[in-house]
Structure 1
């Protein structure tokens, strides 16, 4: 994978950044873009992390999953149509 660089344009809001391959930096700089540091990752609120963990359903045991899975059956009319 090619290395990438973060860039910003002085005419745009400071939080509006783009990520481009290093090879295209000269092209973007010609259009006024400037190389900048990568944005800081946004921290997840602790309440959202706990809520998403609480809402996640538990995985059923393998034998329970097989017991609840419906079986597929072919219709007789389909079989008759294939034989003709």
Structure 2
């Protein structure tokens, strides 16, 4: 595996780094990038938080009597009458009346 280096650009935020192969250093330096130290490794999350995330159930669990719980999150379709009652009213098209003489 080829060795890699970390680089940053002076016009970008200091935390915005890129990792590139050593062979591409001249290419990136021509664009203004500078070789820098590797960023510090992120601290691992506390063990307690990781365990609590694992304990969250992803699917409904069976009830004590052995039957599954089904969750219906889908919204109900409105009844056609309810939709017609809330629909905006359009003016009726009328034909001009013939003039009476």
Bucket of the pairwise TM-score, normalised by the shorter protein: 0.5 to 0.7
User: Unpaired segments of 5 or more residues in structure 1?
Assistant: 58-84
Q: How many residues matched? A: 55
Alignment of 1:28-43 (within 5 A): 28-43=28-43
Q: Deviating runs (4+, > 4 A) in structure 1?
A: none
Alpha-carbon deviation of 1:51? Answer: 2.2
Between Structure 1 and Structure 2, the one with more helix by share is 1
Q: Which residue of 2 aligns with 1:52?
A: 50
Q: Superposition RMSD on alpha carbons, in Å? A: 1.5
Alignment of 1:12-31 (within 5 A): 12-31=12-31
- Give me the TM-score of the superposition, normalised by structure 1: 0.59
Q: Determine the C-alpha separation between the residues in 1 that align with 2:30 and 2:53.
A: 49
Higher RCO structure, 1 or 2 (CA under 8 Å, sep 6+): 1
Larger radius of gyration: 2
The gaps in structure 2 that reach 5 residues or longer are 56-101
Q: Give the secondary-structure state (helix, strand or coil) at the position aligned to 2:51.
A: helix
